[in-house]
Structure 1
């Protein structure tokens, strides 16, 4: 299994595609001026306390105040608030917490108006980006994510990923991290830390501590709404979380991005530096990798399955609904149960990919084709769990109900990605009507005569649909040959399948488009 990352940079931002065995698995659009991304830390101001919700609304510069619930304050909010005030008042000059006295933890069942006060400054981290009409969601349980570790200021605990199951390895990592972590900092050990030596882990820890200290320096002179610590760009965060032995190519199309990615990989995994490549081809990088076609085919309402079935994906206000259909697969199996199992297996694999691809979140209900046997229902449930193991978002999957419905909840921290896959007809402009197609050949010839005789152009090129190209070039005494004898100059005809059947363009010998007069 090979993983590739393809990044196309534009003026508006970056398009990032993650491929697995040449198939599009994740697609991200990162705008160049994007703020309020997950992981960003801001100096906010408490604007309103809502005791009924046990929450606060905080101004961090977004058009709507961000939401902060009591349960997202974190147990060490009093320590964070005290430290923030000391830094702003310039009583503290460093991000080190060795000599800082931690405040008592807050009550898990407490009230927010007992902890926060209106108009007070507060250090907050974005945990969910603005979605639809809602502002960002915040947390005061600050964390700095690294490749192997997550640094948690004002905590003294060491926690390990639940996916690390080997007892000896858990014991080694617990002992190792307890010995190297600084005072008053907690550490969460990520799954990828398994088998890593102390040097690599310590280097990652020091990088996170340096990021925290640079943020505290910025906080000393910060104003409300300022971003104190910015999360890395989306491409780097994907590499941080997923870069492993299966990654065999990272292709970018700008020198600036190439240098940034190479520098970052040199920091986290020097041995993989050689896989970063700068694309210099004539066609756009997404076209060269066949990604434009995949994007158009995968983001529509209907998604085809490899062996004939298809999915219908619809988004309502409350949830996403996915309907599985057998299509022309229904005639290829021995009986109805075999058909259902075959299509449902393919559908489960594609749905797991679609959830990551579109970054669908909230409640997802899947209507699989009905199966009678309990073991087949369990098999589809187990397959879905297996296919979604690689998903970095938190999710919960429930077994199929007696009606053949599967319910999934998936964490949503960013707006869902929607790509417009329906295009306006270039020929009729969406009106549903075109000029009489039988006249198009006469119109082309009349324009050509005007250009060659009245404007005295030479070296003319005509761009037209392949059907028209065939009409004008067919046979030894073709229309194109007749023009040559009539006008004593050769007219080059070029096929262009992007043009409509009745569309055409004239170019001069310099490749410039010729403005056509109203000739018919």
Structure 2
């Protein structure tokens, strides 16, 4: 698969496009003034406990208090509370030794929020979900610091290896390495990218994360809630960390700083492919997104209706509770067999739907109304195909079998607001009002201006109008509006059509072709 990463730095922020075989599959935007990004750490103040929800509302500086559910507290919540308080009150230059920090007993899964957060203390929290609509951020106390090869989880000594590493021998090798190099009081999750890496590479990644934890500990000293303690890397850097691998064929950016970061990163993970990183030269004023056809794909992909190559199309509707996608066959026909037509169209639509979910970052419940199929085998094929199409999606998701009503339900993890790009423009004729001057009024206005010009000794006039208006004014030959004006003003009046004119636009030109301004 041909994978490309195109990064466009602009005044409003950074836009990052992921292409697979030249097709846009992910689009990320990092705004200059972005706040409360997933992964940010805050010192929050518990404001309100809601026993009925088994949750708490925490002030982290957002206009709406953030939401913290008991299930997101982490088993080590009491250790985290103790650590937070100790770090705030610590005044030593180097900070206390976290390896010697005595952990508290774990909380139980079926406990109550007021048993843990009684007294409304200050607590270190991590943004789990960005603010969406009228909701504040969602928080977690399961602090995790992601690196390229490992994820650091304080307050435990557990070493876990990604299940996507299928070799049992490789999993055991990685576990032995991490157990030999990790410090006490730190749990480690080994990521899929660690497969085949040596001890030095893993140790370097782990050491950087431990240094980050020490920075958090230092930033907590004397902090007053609410306060940001540590910001997650920029979205650009985090995407480079999570996405970049040796499978990429091209990385292009128009920013020198991002170019240097990406080049340095590729040299670390795949030195032989450092040449794939290039700096876009703005030749002829063409932007990097325009040159690689991304702007055009964005405009074609974010409307309510998405057309497929075969003539079929899908319609995407958003409601408060869920997203609804309707599949229509259009004029597609691959055979005289209705069942086969339905299967082929549904397969094509499923691939596009999986792409749209990633591209728009649609989360929550998605209901897809596929074209009805009668054979159970075909329904099974479609479900298996959808699972395959969604496999590259990094967000957690689940696909349910097609119901007896022909509906497929999909759930997808929602981490941030859905990306919604407006693909419509204000109508230049009605200026967004939905109304234009009636043809009769337009005709009267042209005649009034024509009368004024002829009165002021202009001869052999030409009127340029939109083709639709031209057809209206010249229809009927002897009884057309043009013939009527010729008889009325006793001179030739030429009417010409120009497709560049808006519906209600018209202009007058003299016999030399010069425009007459009125």
TM-score by length of 2: 0.83
8 Å CA contact 1:54, 1:70 repeated in 2: yes
1:486 corresponds in structure 2 to: none
**In the TM superposition, what are the counterparts of 1:305-324 in structure 2 within 5 Å?**
305-324=308-327
1:353 to 1:436, Cα distance in 2 relative to 1, 3 A:
same
Q: How many residues align?
A: 463
After TM superposition, give the deviation of residue 91 of structure 1 in Å. 5.5
1:12 to 1:438, Cα distance in 2 relative to 1, 3 A:
farther
1:407 to 1:45, Cα distance in 2 relative to 1, 3 A:
same
1:209 to 1:319, Cα distance in 2 relative to 1, 3 A:
same
After TM superposition, give the deviation of residue 210 of structure 1 in Å. 1.6
2:482 corresponds in structure 1 to: none
SS in 1 for 2:104: coil
8 Å CA contact 2:24, 2:297 repeated in 1: yes
Alpha-carbon distance in 2 for matches of 1:502, 1:239:
50
2:364 corresponds in structure 1 to: 362
Unaligned runs of 5+ residues in structure 1 are: 448-463, 468-495, 506-516
1:130 to 1:99, Cα distance in 2 relative to 1, 3 A:
same
8 Å CA contact 1:426, 1:499 repeated in 2: no
After TM superposition, give the deviation of residue 421 of structure 1 in Å. 1.3
Cα deviation 1:257-312 (Å, max 9, x = unaligned): 32343344455555443322221222122111111111111111110112111101
1:164 corresponds in structure 2 to: 165
Of 424-433 and 8-17, the range deviating more from structure 2: 424-433
Alpha-carbon distance in 2 for matches of 1:374, 1:60:
51
**In the TM superposition, what are the counterparts of 1:27-426 in structure 2 within 5 Å?**
27-90=27-90, 93-94=94-95, 96-266=97-267, 269-281=270-282, 282-329=285-332, 331-426=333-428
1:216 to 1:262, Cα distance in 2 relative to 1, 3 A:
farther
1:263 to 1:499, Cα distance in 2 relative to 1, 3 A:
farther
1:474 corresponds in structure 2 to: none
Alpha-carbon distance in 2 for matches of 1:324, 1:270:
45
SS in 2 for 1:4: strand
Higher CA-based Rg:
2
1:519 corresponds in structure 2 to: 517
SS in 2 for 1:227: strand
SS in 1 for 2:98: coil
8 Å CA contact 1:148, 1:201 repeated in 2: yes
8 Å CA contact 1:13, 1:32 repeated in 2: yes
1:504 to 1:239, Cα distance in 2 relative to 1, 3 A:
farther
What is the RMSD of the two structures over their aligned residues, measured on CA atoms? 2.9
8 Å CA contact 2:329, 2:342 repeated in 1: yes
Alpha-carbon distance in 1 for matches of 2:134, 2:143:
25
TM-score by length of 1: 0.83
8 Å CA contact 2:90, 2:96 repeated in 1: no
Of 427-436 and 134-143, the range deviating more from structure 2: 427-436
8 Å CA contact 2:245, 2:269 repeated in 1: no
Alpha-carbon distance in 1 for matches of 2:63, 2:324:
31
Alpha-carbon distance in 2 for matches of 1:333, 1:141:
55
Alpha-carbon distance in 2 for matches of 1:367, 1:166:
39
SS in 2 for 1:223: coil
